[in-house]
Chain A
Amino acid sequence: MTRLVFWFADGIRLPLIFAAGALIAFMLPLEAPYAIRLLTQVAIYALLGIGYQFIFGLAGAFSLAQGAFFGIGAYVAALATLQWDWTGSLTLPAAILAAVLFAAVVAAPVLRLSTHYFALATLGIAQVLLVLAIGCVDLTGGSNGLAGIRTLMVAGIELDGWTGMATVWALVGLAGLALYQVRGSLLGLAFDVVRTDPYAAIAAGIPAARLRFWAFLASAGLAGLAGALQVHSIGVVSPEVLDFDIMVRCLVICVVGGIARTSGAIAGAFLVVLAPELFHALEGYRLLAFGALLLAAILFFPEGIIGTMEALRARWFGRRRFTQKLPTLRAPGRSLLATTRPVLNLERVSKNFGGVVALENVTLKVPRGEIFGLIGPNGSGKSTLVNVVTGLVVPDEGRVIVSGEDMTGRAPAKVAARGVARTFQTVHLHPALSVLDNVAVARIGDLPGGLFGTLLAIGSERRLRRARSEAVAILDALGLGGEVLRTAGSLPPGAQRRLELARALARNPEMVLLDEPAAGLSEPEQTYLAERLRVLKTRGLAMIIVDHNLGFLLRLADRVACLDQGRVVAIGTPDQVRRDPAVIAAYIGPGNPAYRPPEGAR
């Protein structure tokens, strides 16, 4: 009970509840039918907006098909009512199902497109549907649309006026709860990372494609539901439901309301429904005023209405603390010393980029518990090698075998699931997220429970709590135990490197590929990092380290390979490689005037 009270008192919930209460108290007694109509419309748009929060807010994919799904739901509900005399208990599920199925069909080709292409492809789908609705006069009634669709009826009860409004708001409540639940869960963290930095998502082993797919379906389903409710509420359907205008409203709702938030969708829905109504006295000028209001809203509330409220609250009452007690330690992972077969086996791997040789006939073996160094001048193929191992680049020839399984040509997610983790040359962290959560999110692949588990876990999610506990243990082991609640962006560069390592380890890998882990680190930081890596080695972890800092690398590595123009020119212990004439030639050969003798070589 006290928890519930505190939950309400926390954040901006209290002001929001007051605002909603005041609004309803102000509207209802004054002008009942009008208020009911508008509040029903607000709820329908809120539902549409909550749906859009999944794909746009959570997954960060700029879909312009949300209006199309709304239209599909509307037409399906209308046709089902008129043709088969279905009632709401069937039309609503049918509308949801139709929208979800359509989304699933178009998702396969469309979801792999990036940003603007995705936006335009989804817009294209919406436009094709609009033309179909206009052109298929016999089915859809053409531009005249279909009229005479009766109000919502569920289980023999007619839901009209008050009851209809309450029903739609109840659905908004359910959808909002689902969004809230996902946002506050481990999945929500994963979405946050996917949206902010796709490379961080790769590094954390988040199945981004699957998350986007779920989000696309969820947004389509809710849009279909909203469309069906709209038809039952208005009584007619016409191609306007597929218009780009609906899509613009949807964007306004989410961006001006507050991205990825239930409360944002509701606040935005109030804005798009009420603002034009308020300007009625202006007649033909009212859209002018609406445009000005919209511009002002986006300029002065860049984080949306809800975000601005939060910022104000933080300024007046102090920033919200991380209220949770520090999670208890829980060591993840398993012993990696059980088997002795090599973790990585590259067999005669070659790769060309448009005629330029990036890798040529590379054969390598990395056993368990070895630190394997990879050196070579710029453009010698080191990064390509790392990308080939992690599945980002498919080799033209040869095989990549990870722990005995042939992973050649497999998707990065599959390779990652097999126990290969990596860091990137540049830091890819979520700067606004806490150190703890940057690591906790990488536990997503290992912990059981998916979307439905998340939706059903009312209150705080056990999976997230467990992920955080385990993250603390990992961070402790890398000397970051004292920084867990800071934001990742506020850490010094050395600590950020270690944080990336911690995130890679959180995936419980058998092998980690580290791309320039010592770049930008001070001497003591380097020493500390090297010491930590040696500890990990004793636990059986295999590591491939690419670094320009030869001193650091040659002191640390068990074995080193030198690449030059895509070929392995030397391989052996650091001492052997350091003295190898081919290595020296590679470094001081023509075109490498910037050669410095390796510090460790003196």
Chain B
Amino acid sequence: MHTFLFRTILAAMLALAASAGGIAAARAESAATIPVLAPLTGFLALEGASQRNGALLAFHHHPSIVIRSETVDTGTSPEGAVNAFARILRTGPPTALVAPMLGTQMLALLPAAAEAGVPLVTVSGTAEITERGNPWVFRFFPGDAVVKTAQARYTVEELGRRRVALVHQTTAYGQSGRRHLLAAFAGLGAEVVFEEALAPAVRDMAPVLTKLRAARPDVLVLQLHAEPTARLIRQAAALGLGLPIVAGSAMHQPATAALLEPAELSGVCAESGASPISGGSPAMDRWVADYRARFRTEPDAFALAQYDGVSMVLRAVRAGAASGAEVRRRLASEVYEGLAMAYRSDGRGNMAHDAVILCYDGRDRTPRVVRRYVDVLKNG
């Protein structure tokens, strides 16, 4: 924690010194201002830290570009995000912005970003942010429309389950995911026989588990945050529920699996955009090792997606994009082969179109990728 705090300050000071000396102007082709806005406190602190780490790692991997950055905690309120954005703007509009993954914060930022001409690079899954016709938002984690379709298809097509029990969170993440899951299951002809909304603070899962057992489903589909996902899986295992579980992307976060015993994870699958710790390619393994060494924690797909997103921005900068408008044009039109997948915009700022399904085998806490859905919405 101390080291990157120190590094950020150092980087900021260096950048400040550089700009003061007019050097930045002279090397316009290789300089960029990319502040990081992420929820570092509050209930999304875990995911916010992943966002920040992914972005910082991308900065680190592009040493040829002078990057001026500042990490600002947005908390979990829209007001926090708007204040942070105004704070960023005081030194002129940045080249691009790592924008918080909380949907309501993104919605609050959209008009301001359009006005200031700042591309927002985010991993927020909330569907609505790319549905408002705002050309400045770029989402590098597959949106709910993508991953929820994959989750439903895997449940129905691969597992052959048709009686679904759906448990979702009352937060933006849960409510947005629920909407897409219901639509996807309806399209696949599966019946949702039980549905329940949980606040993140709910500790005792016995009521929901006994009730859903009474509804006789043949699969349990989750759309919960990291800690509640683990809590439900642990209590389901203790109760001997014995249903296959297809969880939301929060399950893939290593912090979630770390809460559980490997045996409890047996029969659990999850959707995600990627699973860095599952490996797959030498480049990915290198990246994971680098991430671990630098941040002393396990990377998740949010960190990877944010890394890919920032890397795409930096490629645009290296290719000569100096302003927000130029970066936006390149993000909107180019294809980028990232570590997790190939990214290109669908015209509305959705960059990621692939999803993976991961399963745990009950022996350890590292999931295996069992199914990859490429360009889900087109190939559906």
Contact = CB atoms under 8 A, between A and B. Distances in A.
A238 B132 CA distance: 17
Contacts of B104: 143-145, 147, 236, 238, 240
A224 to B, nearest CB: 17
Interface stretch (B168-176, B264-272, B371-379): B168-176
Given A135-B170, A283-B71, A144 B103 contact: yes
Interface stretch (B84-92, B293-301, B330-338, B357-365): B84-92
Contact of B87 (A144, A234, A280): A280
B79 A230 contact: yes
A147 B90 contact: no
B319 interface: no
A445 interface: no
B90 A236 contact: no
B244 interface: no
Contacts of A230: 79
A12 interface: no
A67 to B, nearest CB: 12
Interface in B92-130: 103-104, 107-108, 110-111, 126, 128
B174 A283 contact: no
Contacts of B84: 280
B90 A143 contact: no
Contacts of A283: 5, 8, 40, 71-73
Interface residues of B, number: 40
Interface string A264-300: 0000000001000100111110110000000000000
A238 to B, nearest CB: 4
B82 interface: yes
Interface in B28-59: 40-41, 45, 49
Interface stretch (A33-41, A463-471, A567-575): A33-41
B253 interface: no
B107 A147 contact: yes
Among A240, A245, A280, which residue has the most Cβ atoms of chain B within 10 A? A240
B73 A234 contact: no
Contacts of B78: 145, 234, 236, 238, 240
Given A143-B104, A284-B49, 16 more contacts: A33-B89, A37-B82, A38-B86, A134-B199, A144-B107, A144-B172, A145-B172, A234-B82, A234-B108, A236-B107, A236-B108, A240-B76, A282-B5, A283-B8, A284-B40, A286-B73
A135 B126 CA distance: 18
Interface in B62-77: 70-73, 76-77
B128 A284 contact: no
Q: Helix, strand, loop or mixed for chain A's interface?
A: helix
B172 A143 contact: yes
B45 A37 contact: no
B86 A33 contact: yes
A145 B175 contact: no
Contact of A34 (B40, B87, B103, B110): B87
A331 interface: no
21 contacts: A33-B90, A34-B90, A37-B82, A38-B86, A41-B79, A134-B170, A137-B175, A143-B175, A144-B176, A147-B104, A147-B132, A148-B132, A234-B82, A236-B104, A240-B104, A280-B84, A283-B8, A283-B73, A284-B40, A284-B41, A286-B73
B1 A38 contact: no
Given A33-B90, A144-B126, A236-B107, A280 B72 contact: yes
B176 A37 contact: no
B1 A34 contact: no
A523 interface: no
A31 interface: yes
B83 interface: yes
Contacts of B5: 282-283
Nearest to B110: A147
A367 interface: no
Instruction: Point out which of B49, B72, B73, B176 has the most chain A C-beta atoms below 10 A from its C-beta.
Output: B73
Contact of A235 (B8, B71, B77, B108): B108
A142 B90 contact: no
Given A33-B89, A281-B9, A143 B174 contact: yes
Contacts of B199: 134
Interface in B164-193: 170-172, 174-176
Contact of A284 (B70, B73, B197): B73
Interface string A220-251: 00000000001000111010100101000000
The interface centre, meaning the residue of B45, B71, B107, B175 with most chain A CB atoms within 10 A of its CB, is: B107
A240 B1 contact: no
Contacts of B83: 37-38, 41, 273, 277
Contacts of B175: 137, 142-144
Main DSSP-derived SS at the B contact region: helix
Most B-side CB within 10 Å, residue of A31, A33, A234, A277? A234
B128 A144 contact: yes
A134 B199 CA distance: 10
A36 B176 CA distance: 33
A168 to B, nearest CB: 14
Contacts of A273: 83
A284 B45 CA distance: 9
B366 to A, nearest CB: 27
B86 A34 contact: yes
A290 to B, nearest CB: 10
A37 B70 CA distance: 19
A253 to B, nearest CB: 15
| A34, A236, A281 interface centre (most CB from chain B within 10 Å) | A236
Contacts of A38: 83, 86
A134 B111 CA distance: 24
A287 B77 CA distance: 14
A29 B5 CA distance: 30
Contacts of A33: 86, 89-90
Nearest to B76: A240
A286 B73 CA distance: 8
A30 B73 CA distance: 22
A135 B198 CA distance: 10
A134 B170 CA distance: 7
Contacts of A142: 170, 172, 175
Contacts of A36: 86
- Nearest first, the 5 closest Cβ-Cβ pairs linking A and B are A37-B86, A31-B90, A147-B107, A238-B104, A34-B90
Contacts of A137: 175
A229 B78 CA distance: 14
A245 B89 CA distance: 27
Given A143-B171, A144-B128, A284 B108 contact: no
A30 B199 CA distance: 43
Nearest to A241: B77
A234 B132 CA distance: 16
Contact of B89 (A34, A41, A238): A34
A70 B171 CA distance: 21
Nearest to B83: A37
Given A41-B83, A144-B104, A235-B111, A280 B73 contact: yes
A158 to B, nearest CB: 13
A502 B90 CA distance: 63
A147 B110 CA distance: 10
Interface in A139-156: 142-145, 147-148
A459 to B, nearest CB: 37
Nearest to A243: B77
Given A37-B83, A145-B107, A284 B1 contact: yes
A340 B5 CA distance: 87
A287 B76 CA distance: 13
A30 B87 CA distance: 12
Contacts of A280: 70, 72-73, 84, 87
Identify which of A30, A243, A280 gathers the most chain B CB atoms within 10 Å of its CB. Answer: A280
Nearest to B49: A284
Nearest to A38: B83
A243 B5 CA distance: 30
B223 to A, nearest CB: 12
Nearest to B82: A234
